[in-house]
Amino acid sequence: MGTIGKIVGVIFIVLVLWGGYVAYALNNASPRVSIAWGSVSENTTEIKVNVDIQRPLLVPLSVEDLRFLFMDEPIGRLTELDYSPFGTEIKASLELDNEKTVDALLKYFENGEIGNLTVVAKPKVLFLSGKFNVSREIDEKVLEKIHLTAQSREIAGLSLLKTPELKDTIVKYEGREGDKAVFITELVLYNPNPYPIPVVKTGYRVWVNELKLGDGESLKTTVIPAKGTVKIPIKTYVLLSNIPEVWEMHVKNNETSIVRAEVFIRLHTLGFSGTKDVTLTTITQTVKTDIIGEINRALSKA
């Protein structure tokens, strides 16, 4: 065998051994993946990703493109990748566009809260590159989880004059008007009085961390029959321009926000002249999420 043949043979053996090691490393890999919040502003949200692969892959790998699409909206992308063929740790930074994420969420509501999250990736190994998509259906019913209730109470200390009981709320997405998202919120009201109550107007206002997020009012007079129940639709406007700031404050405050909601009705009071605005309920609640924790727990079980 000539010198060239020996060199080719050695290269072949090295490639076989290298390929065998890579296959072994991938087959026996138990990567531990964790994420954390990075920098957050009104415009963007950074997510830090850390992957412990335990064994070096010895594979020259790069990612030419990595994007995230929700409802066909490009909501995020890979901005940084720290990888070494001889290392056991991969670090990456993902950046989400807050405004586009809100736009995608409204499309999700418009589609009946059914949609797809798609990851588009273009990795490169040695001199070879390819492009692939991974898509997952999302059908989390967010609006169905919104329920407000309030007990009936006496008006002006009169036992014969009580406010309606707020038994439930039903929220549906209607569309978009300029910089506002429009929802129809049905208030399910029960009249505990032995006489009907004419309701001139019903409405509510919502603040998050003292920043006004939305409000709504009914458009017509409704009469709640004695001991009866009615559904009063309220056209609700959510200020889209304030959502990024609310989100920034929420994340920076360790995923904690103070939500305040006021629900009121305007009544024709029997035996009195004119109308009276009555607050059905004022809700002040600390809302704490654990988005990163839930994702990390899901990743640990994968």
Q: Which residues touch 79 (CB under 8 Å, ≥6 apart)?
A: 46, 93, 94, 95
**pLDDT surpassing 80 at residue 299:** no
143-288: same fold as 29-140?
A: yes
Q: Please, which pLDDT band fits residue 23 given cuts at 50, 70 and 90?
A: very low
Q: Which residues contact 61 (CB under 8 A, 6 or more apart)?
A: 83, 85, 123, 124, 125
Question: pLDDT-derived band of residue 81, with 50, 70 and 90 as boundaries?
Answer: confident
Local structure of 98: helix, strand or coil: helix
Q: How confident is the model at residue 162 (pLDDT cuts 50, 70, 90)?
A: confident
Q: What is the mean predicted confidence (pLDDT) over 139-164? A: 78
More confident residue, 6 or 103: 103
Does residue 195 come out as left (phi exceeding 0), alpha (psi in the -120 to 50 range) or beta?
A: beta
Domain covering 143-288 assigned CATH 2.60.40.10 in the classification: yes
Query: What is the amino acid identity at position 200?
Result: V
pLDDT given for residue 270 in this prediction: 54
**Model confidence over 32-69: pLDDT tens digits?**
778 899 999 999 999 898 888 777 767 777 888 889 89
pLDDT at 85 over 60: yes
Of 7 and 227, the one with more pLDDT? 227
Q: Is the pLDDT of residue 12 over 50?
A: no
Q: Please give the structure tokens belonging to residue 76.
A: 């995020």
Q: What is the pLDDT of residues 90-114, one digit of tens each?
A: 888 989 999 998 999 899 999 998 8
pLDDT in tens, 236-290: 999 999 999 999 999 999 989 998 888 887 766 555 556 667 777 787 878 888 8
What are the two backbone dihedrals, phi and then psi, of residue 293, each rounded to the nearest 5 degrees? -65, -45
pLDDT exceeds cutoff 80 at 15: no
Predicted pLDDT at 180: 93
Average pLDDT, the chain: 80
Task: Please tell me which residue, 286 or 295, carries the higher pLDDT value.
Answer: 286
pTM exceeds 0.85 for this model? no
> Which value, in Å, is the radius of gyration of the alpha carbons in the chain?
29
Which pair of tokens denotes residue 112? Answer: 């009946």
Residue 120 clears pLDDT 50, i.e. is over it: yes
In a 13 Å sphere around the CA of 136, the CA atoms on its Cβ side amount to 4
Domain boundaries, the chain: 29-140, 143-288
Residues sharing a CB contact under 8 Å with residue 270, sequence separation 6 or more, in sequence order: 161, 195
pLDDT digits (tens, 9 = 90+) for 196-242: 988 878 888 889 999 999 998 887 888 999 999 999 898 999 999 99
Q: How far apart are CA 121 and CA 64, in angstroms?
A: 8
Those residues with Cβ within 8 angstroms of residue 11's Cβ, 6 or more apart along the chain or in another chain: none
Task: Count the helices and strands in the chain (H runs, E runs).
Answer: 4, 18
Does the pLDDT value for residue 21 go beyond 50? no
Q: Residue range 68-91: average pLDDT?
A: 87
Question: From the CB of residue 43, how many other CB atoms can be counted at a distance below 10 Å?
Answer: 12
Contacts (Cβ under 8 Å, ≥6 apart) of 177 = 237
Q: Write down the pLDDT at residue 43.
A: 94
Interval 141-151 mean pLDDT: 80
> Which pLDDT value is given to residue 11?
39
Letter string b/e over residues 28-37, b meaning 16 or more CB atoms within 10 A of that residue's CB: eeeeebebee
CATH topology of domain 29-140: Immunoglobulin-like (2.60.40)
Q: Name the pLDDT band for 79 (thresholds 50, 70, 90).
A: very high
